[in-house]
Amino acid sequence: MNVKKTSVAGQFYTADAEQLSANIESYLINVKPDCKYQSRAVIVPHAGHEYSGELAAKGYQYLNKELDVLFIFAPAHRYFVETLAVSDYDMFETPIGELYTHKEYTKELTETGIAEFNNDAFINEHSIEVQLPFIKQLMPNVNIVPVLVGGADFKVISNIIKKYWENEKIGFIISSDLSHFHNKQEAQRIDNVTADMIENLVTNNFLPEQACGYKGVCGLLDFAKEKGFSMIRVGLTDSSLKTGDTSSVVGYGSWYLAEQEKMEFLKEHFSILIKNLCALSIKSQIDKVNVKVENFPKALETKGASFVTLGIGGNLRGCIGSIIAHEPLVVDLCKNARNAAFNDPRFTPVEEKELEKIGLAVSLLSTPEKIDFKDEEDLLEKIKVGEGLIIKDIGRQSVYLPDVWDQLPEKTEFLKSLKQKAGLSPDWFSDTFEAYRFTTTLIQ
């Protein structure tokens, strides 16, 4: 048997089998998943277990443990790889046992010409090896297809994922750290930009400085965008939490792939929590208590736009929201709940005696899409009944959520009313007139 021996055991993680198993188990105990979703693809960090082990463990908790095969895409740090490198090893060693490679899939990658056999590239390479103890402990019988990424375009990785996705027993691990060796403040700024790009499936101008495994990351993002899937945050952290050194840190992040649109996913798995957050935000202001929201799912740290609508007996009691995602969704929700209750200029502030009567609904907004049109007639043709609409002109702006179509089902009247809401005349139109469409996911 041709066995790939460990190269970084004793450096990136302990070489003692019993201690390694105990360490991984302690990580899993300390970081329970926020929901029960099981994914077929995760992004996890590859630093030493001491630094990023907890976050990696939490990412792995979302990985479907019933998979038979795992492709692992990781950057080649120490050896020049022209495209992609695979090995002809029969198995990869870990201190807690070996993992067999899937020789058929490995061979397929080389036969298509997109990868080459190169065992040397795997010597002293940590980006795959640090993942293997987690995989062995959680999925002891899974076969692996380790792939080191060099000069290949991320589209190549996207196409590999697309090809093998048809087999529901195959999963994918993207091994990557985030920014390297900036001070903590700058690292957090860069990593927040990277997180925003990942969560919005943006591959344009995604730089290697943002993530050493950026090609694997972009390959997964490209695949997710084509399929209409989404990336859900597991967490962000950095090395300073362990070293205490904030002058030069390495950033770490983890995400999992959800096979549905992001806001629909949040509704399915966190709708009760989202409503409770809004209700708590309103009550805390009435009670004059400064409540700090803690231990909420990291999925809600993604930037998001929302509207919070309050009603009593079928009558509107307040509605305030955001059009553009500009801050963490959890912050946006709490702010809009308070503003709907106390700062909607159409109503007096909500009183404590009303709390038991108030019904609360939350609309999670998609990213607005600009509508291209030649004139007002063309715009009316392109407006879709059932979608939200934003209009802008001469410094004025207004928005209608999709439920307004229930009161104004005819396009012409809908647009005229929206203009009046913006402080424009019903017949207003100009060459600078802009319109944007969006959809909402309703939680009520």
Q: pLDDT tens across 29-38, in order?
A: 988 899 999 9
Distance of alpha carbon 322 from alpha carbon 330, whole angstroms: 13
Task: Show the low-confidence residues of the chain (pLDDT under 50).
Answer: none
CATH code linked to domain 264-365: 3.30.700.20
Average pLDDT, the chain: 96
Burial of 100 (0-12, 13-18, 19+ CB in 10 A): middle
pLDDT score, position 290: 76
pLDDT score, position 247: 97
What single DSSP character describes residue 194?
H
Beta strands at 143-149 and 84-86: parallel, antiparallel or unpaired = antiparallel
Distance of alpha carbon 141 from alpha carbon 136, whole angstroms: 8
Amino acid at 239: S
What pairs with residue 443 in β-bridges? Answer: 362
3-state class (DSSP) for residue 427: coil
pLDDT score, position 110: 95
- How do the domains of the chain map onto residue ranges? 3-259, 264-365, 369-443
User: How many angstroms separate the Cα of 401 from the Cα of each of 45, 130, 311, 323, 388?
Assistant: 39, 48, 16, 10, 5
Q: Which CATH superfamily is domain 3-259 in?
A: LigB-like (3.40.830.10)
The first and second tokens of residue 350, run together, are: 């909500």
Q: Which residues contact 23 (CB under 8 A, 6 or more apart)?
A: 13, 14, 49, 53
pLDDT score, position 346: 94
Domain 369-443 matching CATH 3.30.1380.10: the answer reads no
Query: Which uninterrupted H or E stretch holds 148?
Result: strand 143-149
Burial of 244 (0-12, 13-18, 19+ CB in 10 A): exposed
pLDDT score, position 1: 85
pTM over 0.85: yes
Burial of 111 (0-12, 13-18, 19+ CB in 10 A): exposed
pLDDT score, position 31: 86
